[in-house]
Structures are given as structure tokens and as C-alpha cells.
Chain A
Amino acid sequence: MNTWFNTLLVLVLALNLFALGTSRLVTMIKIVSLQGLLLGLMPLLIEDHLAVTSALASILAIFLKGMIIPSMLLRAIRDVHIKREIEPLIGLLPSMLLGALVTGFALLFASSLPLAEGDTPPLLVPASLATIFCGFILLTMRLKAITQVMGYLVLENGIYIFGLLLVEAMPLVVELGVLLDLFVAIFVVCIMVNHINKTFSSLDTRLLTSLKE
């Protein structure tokens, strides 16, 4: 069971780098949705005795992160006719390298963290940290509104991985609440993306600078 789990984590880490290295928005949405799908599978693998509630939560996560949210995002970019992130703040290759760097850093850093005794999968905490860092890179180094949202999703995925350690602490209500909030957040963001595009004829967030001192 642990080998499968580790394989999934490695895949998630690889998807981070892919997401950093692509400029095509459709590809990026697909990568992020695949990542969400893999994350949804993880609780099914990690627990020896699967409770009905956590199975329910993970099926919902697969459904939401792997299907509904990506389809909302795909619709949003189809409506605004945008295909690529043309000019990221730092290039695609440098951001991939930066992503690899933070992944390596997370692996090194996690070994010095005081982790709980017991059978914590060794890759889990570093994978979570690396995914959070990659989400931050996407959030800050991309200029299109929609790519920044993708960064937020990757960040959220990273936190979700950490949450796998604490399934007992998160009652079903809370897990459902977190997922529902994520769904509504993306829904609101898609509406905003549409408005930004209508008003500014672009999704370039550099245009959103009229409010400042």
C-alpha cells in the first residue's frame, strides 16, 4: 500500500513541475485536475480500515477537483478566448528549475522536521511543502488572472496533502465545508474573470493597478 501511495506522491510532484513548465492554459487546467484526482485517491490508499465518511469525502474530492472545477475553468477560458500565458514574470524554464529547487529544498528540510513517531509515509510532508511552494510560484510569477487561480488550486492541493495526516482531526462536516468553499470560490472567481475580461479586454493583472497610493 505504501509503495502505491509514494508513487502517487511522486506523480503529484512531477505534475507540479509540468504545471510550472507549460504555457498552454488548457494543459495547465488538465494537469491541475489530474493532480486533484490523484489527491482524491490517496485517502483510499492510506487507510487500512476505510470509514464510510472518509470514503465519501474522497469520492467528493475526486468529483469536485478532478471534474467539476476543471470544467468550470475550461468554460471560463473558452468564454474569454484565451489560450496561453504569453509573458510570465519569469520564463517557463526558470520557473520549472525554481520548482525543482524548492522540491529539493522541501525534501531536505522535511528530514529535519520533528515528525510524529509512527508510520507517517516518508514522502508526505515534503510533497505537501513542495506543492505549496510551487503554488506560490504560480501565484506570484504569472500575470494572467486565470493562471493565478491555478496557483491557488495547487496551493490548496498542497495543504490537502498535509491534511491526509490528520484525517481523524477533520470531521466530515469540516471536510465537506472545505470542499464546498473551494467550489464556490472557483465559481466566484470564474465570474470575476469574465468581468475582468469584459471591462479591461484582457486578463492581464498588470492592468489592475489603478488603485494605489
Chain B
Amino acid sequence: MAKTKGIADLESRIERMEEILSVAACGDFGVQIETDTDMEKADALTAIETGINLLISDMGEEVRESTKKADELEEKLNLIEQQRKAIEELSTPIIKIWERVLVLPLIGTLDTRRSQRLTEALLTDIATTQTKVTILDITGVPTVDSAVANHILKTVAAVQLLGAECVITGIRPEVAQTMVHLGVDLSGVETLSTLAEGLKWAFRSLNLRMVEEQKA
């Protein structure tokens, strides 16, 4: 009789272990098997139960750890995305240098996406401020291959369609060489060597004249 009761007791304990293990398998690591704290009553099963409890709490810890890492990773990715946007904004400042004159200093490489965003921002600015002249300064563009040149020419064409004027400045000698070698057609575009020349050109286009003040 005592023995059957002992077996029934064992069976229920094993059932409890199975139950707890299946709960843990479902991802809930907050569960533990109730064990007798009385060391005297400890038997072979108690060791297994303690082992399972340790395993479950360890796994819980691992999962918490990896979730935390995933969260951190996502946070970092978001940060990278934010920084990418910040860099994009920083690298394409549109500066109003004079009444109805904008300067767009291009810095870095131009891919399709960046040049599309840039054109969009520039054209929106031109339309809202009714800007007459845009100076596109490419001093900060390291290399101008045919793709980059194509992007620049498209931007210029879009500006001209709006009815505004566009001049490209800051073409370095080596850039001029590669553009000619690549067969880039700049015939429909005004090009000048420096930003200062560009500004003078803008003044002329707006019928403004710079006069040196005579000292009395």
C-alpha cells in the first residue's frame, strides 16, 4: 500500500516535470518545480527536479540576454538610419546666398538615390522661394564618371524646366579632362571655374551690379 502510494507520488512528480518542461518549451521560463526544501526528504528525483529548475532559469537568462541583444541591435540600426539621414541632410545644404540665388555645394559621391533626393529638395526650394539662379558647386565631388555627370545634368535640366537658371561651378581640371574623355555633353549648361565667378554670373543674370565704393 505504502509502495503504491509512493509510486503514485512519483508518477505525479514526473507528470509535473513533464508539464513544467512543456511550459518552458513554449517559451515561459518563469516556472519552477516545487521541491521539498527538507534535505532529509531529498531523493533521486529531487536532484533531477533541481537540475530541471536550473536548466529552465539558465535558459530564461539566455533568452532575456539574446532579446536584449536583438533590441540593442535594432536600436543601433535605427541610429545608423538616423545618422544616414543626418549625413544626407548635412551633405546637401541648400544655401540662400543672395535674394533669389541659391548655392548647392555638392560634397561626396552622387548615387541615383542621393541625387534624386537632392533634386527634389532643390526644386521644392526653388519653387517655394521663386529662386532665379542656382549655383551647383561640384568642388567637393571627388570623381565625376559618366553616371555622376548624368545625375548632375538631369538636375540641371529639371531646374531649367521650372524656369530657373543653373550654373555649375568648381570644375577641377582633372574633372574637366575626364568629362571630355567620357564624352559628357555640357553644351546646354553654363559652367564656370569658381563659386565667385558663379555669383558674379548670378548678379549679371539678376541685373545687379557690384560697385566699389569710392572713398572721399
A associates with B = no
Q: Which residues of A contact B (CB under 8 A)?
A: none
